[in-house]
Amino acid sequence: MSLWRKALAEGLGTGLLVTVVVGSGIAAASLSPGDVGLQLLENSFATALGLAVLILMLGPVSGAHFNPVVSVVDWWLGQRSGTGLPGRDLAAYLPAQIAGGIAGAILANLMYGEAAISWSTHHRSAGHLYIGETVATAGLILLIFALAWSGRAHLAPLAVGAYIGSAYWFTSSTSFANPAVTIARAFSDTFAGIAPSSVPLFIVFQAFGAILGAALVVVLYPNAGQAADDVVTPHTDTTKAGAST
């Protein structure tokens, strides 16, 4: 699969994921005014289902990372065994994910009659939220690589969707767990938004969570790097006959 197609799939997937998150948040706030718990339920349910569908749809092209920390950990763990995301692919995935995410937030805003860009005023700056982001991201990394190592990467759409849906509820931060999505959600002053001033520390603790998750992967699954080709889900590469990348 050519690099531009994989980068396009990553940008499109991340963008549509943000559209699902932001769009369902706007719809939830409109349909269930005054009931934050119900709004979160509607938002998390739509996100879990949407993420599973996007992995199924675009995973065969790029692996369906849709997340910079997943791409970086995949590249890093694969280095020792000659597998995983190549450096040139990583360099293409990261900007595609961020740009796609921002475009997805703008699309959601426009679909609901909002300004294309409305900077969020929802401040999320507290120690317990940073702990939540660390836990959410570490768990996501551990899940993805455990599935790949154990030969169950084909279950990623269901498992990753279920994890993110549940993490909306068991983490204090509602589980952003994704730097590209975090940046994008600053572009929408709606239910799912995050104030731009809160973004940097969220990303710092997501990175810390990714490091913690990668460390747990190395300890629990010492040869997990050999399965890095199947992260998040198995995908083909016509430059390697019969192999996954």
Question: 67-71, 140-144, 241-245: which range is least confident on average?
Answer: 241-245
pLDDT of residue 33: 95
For the chain, what percent of residues have pLDDT higher than 90?
A: 89
pLDDT of residue 241: 36
pLDDT of residue 239: 44
Print burial letters for 164-184: b (CB count within 10 Å at least 16), e (below 16): bbebbeebbbbbbbbbbbbbb
Q: Which of these, 174, 171, 178, lies nearest to 232 by C-alpha position?
A: 178
Q: What is the overall mean pLDDT for the chain?
A: 94
Structure tokens at 13: 């997937």
Predicted TM-score (pTM) of the model is 0.93
pLDDT of residue 12: 98
The pLDDT of residue 107 is above 70: yes
14 confidence band (pLDDT: 50, 70, 90): very high
Q: What is the mean pLDDT of residues 94-117?
A: 98
pLDDT of residue 1: 77
pLDDT of residue 245: 31
Distance CA 102, CA 21 (A): 12
In angstroms, what is the C-alpha Rg of the chain? 17
pLDDT of residue 236: 61
Distance of CA 204 to the CA centre of its chain: 15
Q: What domains sit in the chain, N to C, each tagged with a CATH number?
A: 3-228 (1.20.1080.10)
Distance CA 71, CA 63 (A): 10
pLDDT in tens, 226-244: 998 889 998 865 444 333 3
Q: What is the mean pLDDT of residues 57-83?
A: 94
Q: Which 8-state DSSP code applies to residue 232?
A: S
Cis preceding-peptide flag for 232 (omega within 30 of 0): yes
